Structure 1
């Protein structure tokens, strides 16, 4: 556990984008966590697990199945397994959603590209508190088989597994992009086609998933600190 202030988790944002011309989504995600430590995983930077109270895994233009050409992906999967083992709160977004499932034995496949506002069926989970069902989808890969220990907590017409949660670890993933707002539309268009549908960015609740995750990580930090304090006091009490 870190030495973060009581109730305020020490968060890390793991950037997974190999293309410097497509980092807008990582920048957007990081902007929701101004106090977090950013880690450029592709460039070789790594999370200090002993100090982490929570980790957010960003999207990427890379595919998890490109592991032979991108060795850092195998290391990202190892990071996921370590986070689960240590019980460190983790949130995976898009590629983060995919690499979590792949790391735990699931399957990710290339599918038809979706760049649009879509309506999702969001389950009753605290990560979705206050989150509107209209979300931003920007992906051409999808989780087709769940990783071990994971359950689906969201779905969409074009993606059966649109979000997951671990049964025992504080781990959540979403295929959609909670960081994206209307201001990013031009950057999206530069990266690929944008499919205008019946929904509007006014229907989206950007950042709400991140607010929920930070709250959940803070609750975990508070509980861990309390348990550590109780253990120390008990150990120091004469019999």
Structure 2
């Protein structure tokens, strides 16, 4: 089987709904946590597919998280080799940094379900998300890397880009909508009222977001080169 490696920055952010299309595409999934001592020497170029997940830290938080520069350097080598890579939220920001772009705090947080505005490209796998509210949970943003194509935005932030067929970076979380680990995400909220509304959104809007996200990832995987 083909190999897929998930890089986890925190235990409660795994590939969630994306696991089904990845396995359906014939990948055996493994994972590594950035806190694992083996991560410092892990070869991120080796797996057939790399999935870099999210986390509450920022790309610039290198004093608190000294593994960040090493991850960016290893990720850069993979991207230079054009190896199939998917980045989610922090993972997308890591990809932007690895491609030489600035990553920085935005003008505020986007938290909750909302659709993304898609660029008019009928070849983009993000077309499956048209009109579908997906989960947003971010406050950082990035400059669009040279040589990449912007795929989606919200009024506040860039939401996705790709380079060719093999590199896909997504700021939003279309993998989240049915995963019980969402309860751990809610622990970071200060407002109980906001927690209640997010729980209801997750219950009512999450399943449709996951189905759309799975269709998106399935199409992207089918079009990989090499």
TM range (shorter): 0.7 to 0.9
TM-score normalized by the length of structure 1 = 0.73
Structure-2 residue corresponding to 1:120: 116
Computing the radius of gyration from Cα coordinates, the structure with the larger value is 1
What 5-or-longer segments of structure 1 have no aligned partner?
18-22, 225-239
The CA distance in 2 between the partners of 1:89 and 1:24, in whole Å, is 24
The CA distance in 2 between the partners of 1:179 and 1:127, in whole Å, is 14
After TM superposition, give the deviation of residue 216 of structure 1 in Å.
Answer: 3.6
Q: Is the 8 A contact 1:136 1:180 kept in 2?
A: yes
Give SS of 1:100's match. helix
Q: Does 1:130 align with 2:137?
A: no
Structure-2 residue corresponding to 1:97: 92
1:167-213 deviation digits (Å, cap 9, x = unpaired): x4610111101221155453332221547489751674216445544
1:142-180 deviation digits (Å, cap 9, x = unpaired): 22x122322211100221x111112x4610111101221
The CA distance in 2 between the partners of 1:90 and 1:150, in whole Å, is 14
- Higher mean C-alpha deviation, range 104-113 or range 203-212: 203-212
The CA distance in 1 between the partners of 2:223 and 2:184, in whole Å, is 35
The CA distance in 1 between the partners of 2:141 and 2:111, in whole Å, is 13
Q: Is the 8 A contact 1:103 1:147 kept in 2?
A: no
1:53-98 deviation digits (Å, cap 9, x = unpaired): 1111000111101123322111121122112122211110000111
Q: Does 1:80 align with 2:80?
A: no
**Cα–Cα, structure 1 residues 86 and 210, in superposed 2: closer, same or farther, change >3 Å?**
farther
**Cα–Cα, structure 1 residues 211 and 204, in superposed 2: closer, same or farther, change >3 Å?**
closer
TM-score normalized by the length of structure 2 = 0.77
**Cα–Cα, structure 1 residues 169 and 69, in superposed 2: closer, same or farther, change >3 Å?**
farther
Structure-1 residue corresponding to 2:177: 181
